[in-house]
Structure 1
Amino acid sequence: MAAINFRHLEAIRALILSGSVTGAATRLNVTQPAVSHLIRDAEERLGFALFNRELGRLSPTRKAELILEMFERSLSGLEALNDYCAQLKQSEHRQVVISTIPSFAAAVLPQIIRTYRDEIGPDFFLIKSANTEMGIASVRYNSSDLAFGVNLDPVPGVECATVHNSRALCYLPPGHPLGEKTVITPQDLAGLPMITLSRMEGIAQSIASRIPDHGEAVVECPAAITVLALVEAGIGYTLLDPMTASVFRSDRVVLRQFSENIPFDHRIYWSTSKPMSFDLDKVIALARDFTADAVGRTLARVPAAG
């Protein structure tokens, strides 16, 4: 198979987005025959059709859509590189790229970066929001230096260290009748509306394996902070780690101990194939200290078991 080049990709993208050869030619500021030639040449090089041609209309094949998706990711990477070059114009400090789940980014990461820059050096930090699975992948393929996530084991080529182990608390809407109890049991939650976390983190599966009759899921949300906002709105309860609640300062969410041990293992991940250009041990130590502080602030709001 012959390789396609950037001009082929531009033509494929323009034709998909505009829906016509005329529109693609306008986007690229070329003639319509030039667009048609690029598409035909790309299909010949690839060995498969990129567009379905029916009654004079073009529609992208699934392969073309997948190529566009990958191309868009590449453009995002190019944008990030341009941003980094602009940053280098102002400073030559090292860049540390961190992929992180949103809850850790809000609850702990600001303190880590502030202290690191105060005590180690003025490195430039680039933060990317990602679920744990994507964060691990970005570390493995060296598009991130570090990833912070929860519960997932590393893959080959990636190491990890535990930042903090905690167990789930029960988060209830304001004025919920179960707020009269200090410890919530699975039986208490049977049949109640529940807000669940994305299954990508493995947390939903962990809850289901321990308490099969854990209520009726009414919303699934990947961002833990948003889950707490949904609880505050009275939509349902959730089972969540104590770190996240340290960011959510509203006292309208009722926090109670949960009788079953549902673990939240917050971890830091890094590549074994990429040399560290920053103080990894310091980052790990700061992550552990500040996460413990965040968890401690939350647990201080939880009534002791009666």
Structure 2
Amino acid sequence: MRLRHIEIFQAIRQTGSVSGAAQLLHVSQPAVSKVLQHAEQQLGFALFLRVRGKLQATPEALELEREVDKVTESLQGVRRLAQSLRREPGHSLRIGAIPALALSLLPPAINEWTQRYPDIVCELSSAHSRELMQNLLMREVDVALTLQPPDHPGLKAQTLASGMLVALAPLGYWPVASHGQPLPLIELAGAPLIGLSSADPLAARLDSYLEAVDPPPRVRIAVQTYSLARAMVESGAGLAVIDPFTALGASPATTAIRPLAPALPIILYAVTRADEPPPHTLSDLLQVFSRRAQAQLDRLIVGAGLPANGHNAVYKT
């Protein structure tokens, strides 16, 4: 099948008629019929049968549809990349962040930065780490904020801040005097724990960390985002081990936070493309992210009676 055949095939699948496909593609009905006839001649079988006035895909067409969808998705990726390459540099900055950071760190940092650069347009998006890496490679974002370093040679990472995972529990689960204090690993034995999806980059590290706990935590609910884990804790469903940015957004009226002991460290990364210089304003933005992120993390560390390291910036240009 040629690309034009695929375009007509999908338009008919969407609309159920030649006239609908013609209208969708802004061409004449005879043009659609001619391309469809040519496609069927080349393939050697019919793609559609008329049933009660509508064109319905044949079994052969339905088998083809899965592969056709892959081609269409690839073409859409090419179009998006072409649009990104046409973008005039220096006038906008596209920032992606994992949900945990998009809700806590991004809003105040972007507000501060846009006041410094009022003429630059800022585009914000949120996605999981794997999707953000793909967005960077497709040039759909200029920088991605994530807790996972990239594993692609076309990407590079800068460390912005470092902290530790924390335990979040419904208020009343721990004695008030222990709030903010380090939580010994053994106290998670048999605890009702909200689990992380196996697709989460920190899930394997957390599983390894919990191997020494006997009996192991009771995991009956698994979630894909830290914000959902926090919501489950706030509802009283159990404990969660999550990133500190998400945990600090929990309501102190319903939850309590404790850092783990021994600590399970995390690092906040800014990921960019390795093969091109970043936008000239990005360095200033990353300094804002670094300072604000470390300030949030130090808030938690100080609350636990541990030495803060916010004065020793980990961000390097």
Question: 1:284 maps to what in 2?
Answer: 286
The one-letter amino acid of 1:161's match is Q
Match of 2:271, SS? strand
Question: 2:312 maps to what in 1?
Answer: none
Question: 1:4 maps to what in 2?
Answer: 3
TM-score, length basis structure 2 = 0.74
Using the alignment, how far apart are the partners of 2:124 and 2:288 within structure 1?
17
Q: Indicate conservation of the 8 Å contact 1:136/1:154, yes or no.
A: no
Using the alignment, how far apart are the partners of 1:43 and 1:166 within structure 2?
60
- Using the TM superposition, name which of 201-210 and 248-257 deviates more: 248-257
Query: Is 2:270 aligned against 1:268?
Result: yes
Question: 2:242 maps to what in 1?
Answer: 240
Q: Once the 2 structures are TM-superposed, how far is the Cα of residue 179 of structure 1 from its aligned partner?
A: 6.6
The one-letter amino acid of 1:261's match is A
Question: 2:172 maps to what in 1?
Answer: 175
Match of 1:206, SS? helix
Q: Indicate conservation of the 8 Å contact 1:197/1:220, yes or no.
A: yes
Query: Is 2:83 aligned against 1:124?
Result: no
Query: Residues 36 and 122 (structure 1 numbering): CA distance in 2 closer, same or farther, change over 3 Å?
Result: same
Q: How does 1:1-306 map to 2 (within 5 A)?
A: 3-5=2-4, 8-18=5-15, 20=16, 22=17, 25-29=19-23, 35=32, 37-39=34-36, 41=38, 57-58=57-58, 60-61=62-63, 62-70=66-74, 77=80, 94-177=91-174, 181=178, 182-212=181-211, 213=213, 214-299=216-301, 302=304
Match of 1:107, SS? coil
Match of 2:286, SS? helix
The one-letter amino acid of 2:225's match is A
Using the alignment, how far apart are the partners of 2:166 and 2:68 within structure 1?
46
Query: Residues 155 and 174 (structure 1 numbering): CA distance in 2 closer, same or farther, change over 3 Å?
Result: same
Using the alignment, how far apart are the partners of 1:42 and 1:205 within structure 2?
49
- Using the TM superposition, name which of 35-44 and 106-115 deviates more: 35-44
Query: Residues 297 and 11 (structure 1 numbering): CA distance in 2 closer, same or farther, change over 3 Å?
Result: farther
Match of 2:254, SS? coil
Q: Once the 2 structures are TM-superposed, how far is the Cα of residue 52 of structure 1 from its aligned partner?
A: 9.1
The CA RMSD over aligned residues, in Å, is 3.8
- Using the TM superposition, name which of 155-164 and 207-216 deviates more: 207-216
The one-letter amino acid of 1:294's match is Q
Q: Indicate conservation of the 8 Å contact 2:162/2:267, yes or no.
A: yes
Instruction: Using the aligned pairs only, state the percent identity.
Output: 19
- Using the TM superposition, name which of 62-71 and 127-136 deviates more: 62-71
Q: Once the 2 structures are TM-superposed, how far is the Cα of residue 266 of structure 1 from its aligned partner?
A: 1.1
Using the alignment, how far apart are the partners of 1:95 and 1:11 within structure 2?
36
The one-letter amino acid of 1:239's match is V
Q: Once the 2 structures are TM-superposed, how far is the Cα of residue 276 of structure 1 from its aligned partner?
A: 2.6
In the TM superposition, what whole-angstrom CA distance separates every residue of 1:128-174 from its partner, at most 9, and x where no partner exists? Answer: 21111221222233221101101233421211111111111111123
The one-letter amino acid of 1:233's match is S
In the TM superposition, what whole-angstrom CA distance separates every residue of 1:101-126 from its partner, at most 9, and x where no partner exists? Answer: 11211211222222222224531111
The one-letter amino acid of 1:204's match is A
Match of 1:144, SS? coil
Contiguous gaps of at least 5 residues in structure 1: none
Using the alignment, how far apart are the partners of 2:257 and 2:154 within structure 1?
39
Q: Once the 2 structures are TM-superposed, how far is the Cα of residue 299 of structure 1 from its aligned partner?
A: 4.0
Contiguous gaps of at least 5 residues in structure 2: 307-317
| Equivalent residues, number | 289
Using the alignment, how far apart are the partners of 1:172 and 1:49 within structure 2?
62
Using the alignment, how far apart are the partners of 2:288 and 2:102 within structure 1?
14
Using the alignment, how far apart are the partners of 1:229 and 1:50 within structure 2?
52
Using the alignment, how far apart are the partners of 1:258 and 1:36 within structure 2?
66
The one-letter amino acid of 1:58's match is T
Query: Residues 65 and 73 (structure 1 numbering): CA distance in 2 closer, same or farther, change over 3 Å?
Result: same
The one-letter amino acid of 2:254's match is R
Using the alignment, how far apart are the partners of 1:130 and 1:50 within structure 2?
41
Q: Once the 2 structures are TM-superposed, how far is the Cα of residue 50 of structure 1 from its aligned partner?
A: 11
Using the alignment, how far apart are the partners of 1:161 and 1:72 within structure 2?
30
In the TM superposition, what whole-angstrom CA distance separates every residue of 1:261-292 from its partner, at most 9, and x where no partner exists? Answer: 32211100111223333323212211110001
Using the alignment, how far apart are the partners of 2:221 and 2:47 within structure 1?
37
Query: Residues 137 and 190 (structure 1 numbering): CA distance in 2 closer, same or farther, change over 3 Å?
Result: same
TM-score, length basis structure 1 = 0.77
